[in-house]
Structure 1
């Protein structure tokens, strides 16, 4: 049920327990500030489990991003859904030391194509903190546009709408 997707450089795959240490390190750090963090270790664990549980419950969720050349996990990309999300939401995070290499763009492009294609979603948005300029630039590079009319999960969140 959980897909594995491949691009020229990346493999997007289901998460495993081996992914927990790097995920937890990011989520409890100041780098998680744009993702309602930094989180406690307990809340990071809950988010890690939620990322996996969404596949069973909602037919979408998160995939880990591996560099195919090195096998190294460089981050995560996901399509979030459920009662906390007004629409299917495409999100990404890249681990420290892997920024600026195009991993998030490549992974988000592939997962969005899967979402609009095989998964059959009619809408996909990205929820972005207004101060997260790098994610806003990435959403725009992906072709998403700011949608000021969209339902937002919080007043402070911007919604970028992706097109098929």
Structure 2
């Protein structure tokens, strides 16, 4: 197994999850914001999801990374490539914790991980499964250049599927 990468952008470090990241993760998963991911979830379910995010690195060679601000060391969210029986295709997903929205962290992290996946995993494309009411994630996917793919099967039948392609310069 290859080691889990650490990626860096101008403002962020995308790093492997550690157990001390779980409290903030569980807090988000218990909040009303988790409705866009099928929640809210209790602590037991959140722990299973957190462990799944880590385990995917061993199983598939990709998974989730925590989004940390370089300037402060604060963990502000997560970005990941998900797969397995719950995901029809490899999915690029993201979230930021309360109080950290609106700073472009999800965009910056998602672009970095997307480009890493195309370069290092040789993926032809990725999808993002987005709840149709999650207007902020829909806007982010579009800002990244992803296109709505109405013919793709979603994780949930109500999800919108946005497809990401490698940039022509990649």
**Range class of TM-score, shorter chain:** over 0.9
- Report SS of the residue matched to 2:47: helix
Q: Does 1:10 align with 2:12?
A: yes
Q: Does 1:84 align with 2:66?
A: no
From 120, 123, 130, the equivalent of 2:122 is 120
CA distance in 2, matches of 1:137, 1:10: 21
TM-superposition CA deviations, 1:43-86 (whole Å, max 9, x none)? 00000000000000011110000000001000000000112211
Equivalent residues in 2 for 1:65-104 (5 A)? 65-104=67-106
Long gaps (5+) in structure 1: none
The aligned residue for residue 44 of structure 2 is 42
Q: Which consecutive segments of 4 or more residues in structure 1 shift more than 4 A?
A: none
Contact 1:146 1:161 in 2 (8 A): yes
Long gaps (5+) in structure 2: none
The aligned residue for residue 156 of structure 2 is 154
Question: What is the TM-score of this pair, normalised by structure 1?
Answer: 0.98
Shift of 1:123: 1.8
- Report SS of the residue matched to 2:132: coil
Alignment root-mean-square deviation, CA:
0.7
How many equivalent residue pairs? 164
